[in-house]
Amino acid sequence: MTHQESGYFTEATSAEVVIARNARAQDERLKAVMDVITRKLHEAVKEIEPTEEEWFKAIMFLTNTGHMCNEWRQEFILLSDVLGVSMLVDAINNRKPSGASESTVLGPFHVADAPELPMGADICLDAKGEPMRVRGRILDTAGNPIASAKIDVWQANDEGFYDVQQKGIQPDFNLRGVFRSNPDGSYWFRGVKPKFYPIPDDGPVGKLLGALGRHPYRPAHLHYIVEAEGYDRLVTHIFDPDDPYITSDAVFGVKESLLAKFVPVSDPAEVATAGFDGPFLDVAFDFVLSRKG
Ligand code: BEZ
Ligand code: FE
């Protein structure tokens, strides 16, 4: 057998010839993946019919995307995000039973070692922004409370920046914390109203968005990872439905079930009962976890 088992490469047979060449691959999954990618990529190139200059531009775009990556910046993940692929992979891998809370992208600003805080703690360490109370319950799909669930939250500040983007300006661990749900599944903490913000757009992905006439903004949100023994880990956000970018998230992370009302509270009696000094925003949101398996 020669290595030209399926004939010479022609425009018409290009994908089949390349796929046939992989026949002796050791890893079946790799072969299956590369077969699909080869077929779809050749199909795209045949439809687009790029000039050689255009193809080189594409190669340089990917080269620059790689050059932009470092310990803190993963430009390929941003590319996957703005192409909707991150959300698609998330959807495929987090199909939930009915009633369970939906997931969304993790994003690049999670910090693994945020401090565990007592219930009701204020995660805003610099007193900047509009005070907010966030509360709710962690439940199973039958509506039973889940006690001692780990609730890891993080959010941007009132100017749309995470602490890790403003080292030396914001205190370390500003607007992030880990809480454990009460025996009745409840949790609450204080923060400040987050603002919409642009995904990092000073690299090739930002340039691409600009060229496509797209903005780089994500609507205001709070990130959550909720974990409990025997349940699937939930990586999600809650979103401000009144945000100007709520229907045009740059990374397609918004789901209708994740919209949470930010309700202004100014009645002095209610303010005093909640333990605030003045008006605040009240955000109530329950999370429903699905059982493992
Ligand atoms: C975030 O929400 O933190 C985020 C998600 C995707 C890309 C950039 C930021
Ligand atoms: Fe975010």
SS3 string, the chain, reads CCCCCCCCCCCCCHHHHHHHHCCCCCCHHHHHHHHHHHHHHHHHHHHHCCCHHHHHHHHHHHHHHHHCCCCCCCHHHHHHHHCCHHHHHHHHHCCCCCCCCCCCCCCCCCCCCCCECCCCCECCCCCCCCEEEEEEEEEECCCCECCCCEEEEEECCCCCCCHHHCECCECCCCCEEEEECCCCCEEEEEEECCCCEECCCCCHHHHHHHHCCCCCEECCEEEEEEECCCECCEEEEEECCCCCCCCCCCCCCCCHHHECCCEEECCHHHHHHHCCCCCEEEEECCEEECECC
> What CATH number does residue 188 fall under?
2.60.130.10
- Atom of ligand 1 at shortest range from CA of 218: 2
Is there a single domain that holds both residue 112 and residue 257? yes
Ligand 1 site, residue 160, Cβ cutoff 6 A? no
- Atom of ligand 1 at shortest range from CA of 86: 6
Ligand 1 site, residue 81, Cβ cutoff 6 A? yes
Using CA atoms, how far apart are residues 123 and 232, in angstroms rounded to an integer? 26
Is there a single domain that holds both residue 150 and residue 183? yes
Return averaged pLDDT per consecutive 10 residues of the chain, 293 residues in all.
70 96 96 98 98 98 97 94 98 93 96 96 97 98 98 98 95 97 98 97 97 98 98 98 98 98 96 95 98 90
Ligand 1 site, residue 199, Cβ cutoff 6 A? yes
Is there a single domain that holds both residue 147 and residue 257? yes
Does a structural domain hold residue 6?
no
Is there a single domain that holds both residue 108 and residue 152? yes
The first and second tokens of residue 262, run together, are 């930010």
Does a structural domain hold residue 37?
yes
- The pick from 77, 81, 87, 105 for probing ligand 1's pocket by mutation, whose C-beta has the most ligand atoms within 8 angstroms, reads 105
Does a structural domain hold residue 24?
yes
Nearest CA to ligand 1 atom 7: 107
- Look at residue 1 in the predicted model and tell me its pLDDT: 45
Does a structural domain hold residue 8?
no
- Look at residue 5 in the predicted model and tell me its pLDDT: 63
Ligand 1 site, residue 153, Cβ cutoff 6 A? no
Nearest CA to ligand 1 atom 2: 107
Is there a single domain that holds both residue 266 and residue 148? yes
Is there a single domain that holds both residue 26 and residue 113? no
Is there a single domain that holds both residue 45 and residue 75? yes
Ligand 1 site, residue 108, Cβ cutoff 6 A? yes
Is there a single domain that holds both residue 285 and residue 221? yes
Does a structural domain hold residue 9?
no
Ligand 1 site, residue 107, Cβ cutoff 6 A? yes
- Number of structural domains (the chain) is 2
At which of 58, 82, 106 does a domain end? Answer: 82
CA angle, residues 67, 27, 86, in degrees to nearest 5 = 45
Is there a single domain that holds both residue 45 and residue 136? no
Which range marks the domain in which residue 106 is found? Answer: 97-289
Is there a single domain that holds both residue 104 and residue 217? yes
Nearest CA to ligand 1 atom 8: 199
Is there a single domain that holds both residue 170 and residue 212? yes
Nearest CA to ligand 1 atom 1: 107
- The pick from 109, 153, 162, 201 for probing ligand 1's pocket by mutation, whose C-beta has the most ligand atoms within 8 angstroms, reads 109
